[in-house]
Amino acid sequence: MLHIGIKHVDITDGFWKKRQDINKDVTVKAVQNRFLETGRFDAFDFTNEKIAHIFYDSDVAKWIEGVSFILHKERNSELEVFIDRIADLIEKNRSDDGYYNSHFLRKPEERWQHRSDHELYCAGHLMEAAVQYYKATGKEKFLKLMEDYADYIYKVFITEKSAAFKTPGHEEIELALVKMYDTTGKKKYLELSKHFIDRRGVEEEPWIGSNYNRYNTQDFLPVRQQRTAEGHAVRASYLYAGMADIAYRYKDKELLAACKAIFSNIVKKRMYITGGTGSSHLGEAYTLDYDLPNTKGYAETCAAIALAFFAQRMLLSDADSVYADTVERIIYNGMLSGVSLDGKAFFYENPLEIQPVLNNRNVATTLTERNAITQRKEVFGCSCCPPNVIRFIGAINEYIYSYNKDTLFINQFISSDLEYENIRAEIRTEFPNCGKVYIKVSGVNKVAVRKPYWCKYLKLVINDVRSKYSSKKGYIYINLPKGQNRIRLEMDITPRLVYSNPKVYDNSHKTAVMRGPVVYCAEAVDNDFPLNNIVFGKELNYKTVKSDQLDAYMLDVDIKIPQSIDDLYTFTPFKYRKKTLRMIPYYCFANRGETEMRVWL
Ligand SMILES: [Zn+2]
Domain ranges of the chain: 402-491, 496-598
Task: Please check the confidence at residue 390 and state whether its pLDDT lies above 90.
Answer: yes
Residue 206 pLDDT class (50, 70, 90 cuts): confident
Beta bridge partners of 561: 577
Q: How far is the CA of 166 from the centre of ligand 1 (A)?
A: 25
Helices (H), 72-172: 77-93, 119-137, 141-154
C-alpha closest to that of 394 among 62, 40, 83, 49? 62
| Cβ-contact 318, 260 below 8 angstroms | yes
Alpha carbon 452 to its chain's center: 19
Q: How far is the CA of 542 from the centre of ligand 1 (A)?
A: 36
Q: What is the pLDDT of residue 283?
A: 93
pLDDT digits (tens, 9 = 90+) for 65-119: 999 999 999 999 999 999 999 999 999 999 999 999 999 999 999 999 999 999 9
Q: How far is CA 311 from CA 29, 176, 277, in A?
A: 30, 16, 13
Q: Tell me the three-class secondary structure of 490-550, residue by residue.
A: EECCCCEEEECCCCCHHHCCCEEEEECCEEEEEEHHHCCCCCCCCEECCCCCEEEEEECCC
Q: Domain 402-491 maps to which CATH number in 3.40.50.300, 1.10.260.40, 2.30.30.170, 2.60.40.1180? A: 2.60.40.1180
Q: How far is the CA of 181 from the centre of ligand 1 (A)?
A: 26
Task: Please check the confidence at residue 144 and state whether its pLDDT lies above 90.
Answer: yes
Q: How far is the CA of 383 from the centre of ligand 1 (A)?
A: 6
pLDDT digits (tens, 9 = 90+) for 466-508: 999 999 999 999 999 999 999 999 999 999 999 999 999 999 9
Q: How far is the CA of 59 from the centre of ligand 1 (A)?
A: 10
Mean pLDDT of the chain: 96
d(CA 121, CA 104): 13
Q: How far is the CA of 378 from the centre of ligand 1 (A)?
A: 13
Q: How far is the CA of 492 from the centre of ligand 1 (A)?
A: 34
Percent residues over pLDDT 90 in the chain: 94
Q: How far is the CA of 486 from the centre of ligand 1 (A)?
A: 41
Q: What is the mean pLDDT of residues 506-523?
A: 97
Q: How far is CA 21 from CA 14, 62, 511, 591, in A?
A: 11, 18, 35, 19
- What DSSP designation does 426 have? E
Q: How far is the CA of 337 from the centre of ligand 1 (A)?
A: 13
**H/E segment holding residue 425:** strand 423-429
Residue 226 pLDDT class (50, 70, 90 cuts): very high
pLDDT digits (tens, 9 = 90+) for 7-58: 999 999 999 999 999 999 999 999 999 999 999 999 999 988 889 999 999 9
pLDDT digits (tens, 9 = 90+) for 315-343: 999 999 999 999 999 999 999 999 999 99
d(CA 68, CA 47): 27
Q: How far is the CA of 237 from the centre of ligand 1 (A)?
A: 12
| Cβ-contact 160, 120 below 8 angstroms | no
d(CA 565, CA 352): 28
Q: What is the pLDDT of residue 576?
A: 96
Q: How far is the CA of 324 from the centre of ligand 1 (A)?
A: 22
Percent residues over pLDDT 70 in the chain: 100
Q: How far is the CA of 281 from the centre of ligand 1 (A)?
A: 12
Q: How far is the CA of 164 from the centre of ligand 1 (A)?
A: 27
Residue 220 pLDDT class (50, 70, 90 cuts): very high
Q: What is the pLDDT of residue 381?
A: 85
Q: How far is the CA of 176 from the centre of ligand 1 (A)?
A: 17
Q: How far is the CA of 342 from the centre of ligand 1 (A)?
A: 19
- The 10 Å Cβ neighbour count of residue 327 is 25
Q: How far is the CA of 582 from the centre of ligand 1 (A)?
A: 31
Point out the least confidently predicted range of 376-380, 472-476, 587-591.
376-380
Q: How far is the CA of 399 from the centre of ligand 1 (A)?
A: 21
What are the backbone dihedrals phi and psi of residue 191, each rounded to the nearest 5 degrees, phi first? -60, -40
Q: How far is the CA of 388 from the centre of ligand 1 (A)?
A: 7
